[in-house]
Amino acid sequence: MRCYVPKRARCNATNSKAFATYAKVTFGWDMFLCEAIATALKPLVIMFGAVSNQQIFLSTMKNLKTTLAIPFIMILGCAIFAGCNFSTGAKKDLRTGLSFNYNGFIVQDVLLIDPANKPMTDNKVQLNTRIAIAAFGIHNYGLKDGKVFPGMMLLVTDKKGTPVLNAADLFAGGQGYPPANATELRGDITIAKPMTAGETYHVKVHIWDKVKADNEINIETDLVVQ
């Protein structure tokens, strides 16, 4: 079992949930504003003998509500996107069954890596080999003295839930890394005793940021030993 922090990768992500929430609030506020305008102008309409056209007037104001709401939503949305410095999401590889979710970090992908250092296309592994779980394109770390401080927990359990491999933090005692050198985190798993052929083992990986507490990645997959 080992881990390392290799070379750089890049990615982009945004948080649309915040935009949707603020858009909804903004739209409601704009409608309230336009209702107030319509109420204030109604006496003027009556004064100039346009009572018969009130329905047209009110219909126009309703259209105005929507017209005003759209620019406000777009402006707020742009401001929110520009100010966002976090992301959240989830993904599953239907070939290997590996799934992961992330919060705070920006993550490009997480893959099972075979003994030849290539992405796996299923979750079958051979005894006496070494595979890895690797997270790529990790960004948005918190910085301390210009360095990043990741943590990585790796747990492998049998079908009864008994740990066969349990590493609380593969980066324990680390002195920090330049951000460009920590965009890929990898934990190696040696397929050997007490694992046995014909059994399925469950793997959990938890990656966190020791500087920015909200940053985390959670990974799970099954390994079928052959």
In terms of domains, do 199 and 130 share one?
yes
Q: Do 132 and 220 lie in a common domain?
A: yes
pLDDT, tens digit (0-9, with 9 covering 90-100), for 89-141: 999 999 999 999 999 999 999 999 999 999 999 999 999 999 999 999 999 99
Tell me if the pTM is above 0.85.
no
On whether the CB atoms of residues 159 and 177 are closer than 8 A, the answer is no
User: Looking at 32, 48, 83, which one is the last position of a domain?
Assistant: 83
pLDDT digits (tens, 9 = 90+) for 12-24: 333 333 323 333 3
User: Could you tell me the CATH number of the domain that includes residue 162?
Assistant: 2.60.40.10
Residue 73 and residue 44 in one domain: yes
List the domain range (segments joined by +) for residue 79. 16-83
- The values of phi and psi at residue 51, to 5°, are -60, -40
**88 contacts: CB under 8 Å, gap ≥ 6:** 15, 17, 101, 102, 103, 104
Band of the pLDDT at 86, cuts 50, 70, 90? low
Q: What are phi and psi of 57, to 5 degrees?
A: -60, -50
Is residue 174 very low, low, confident or very high in pLDDT (cuts 50, 70, 90)?
Answer: very high
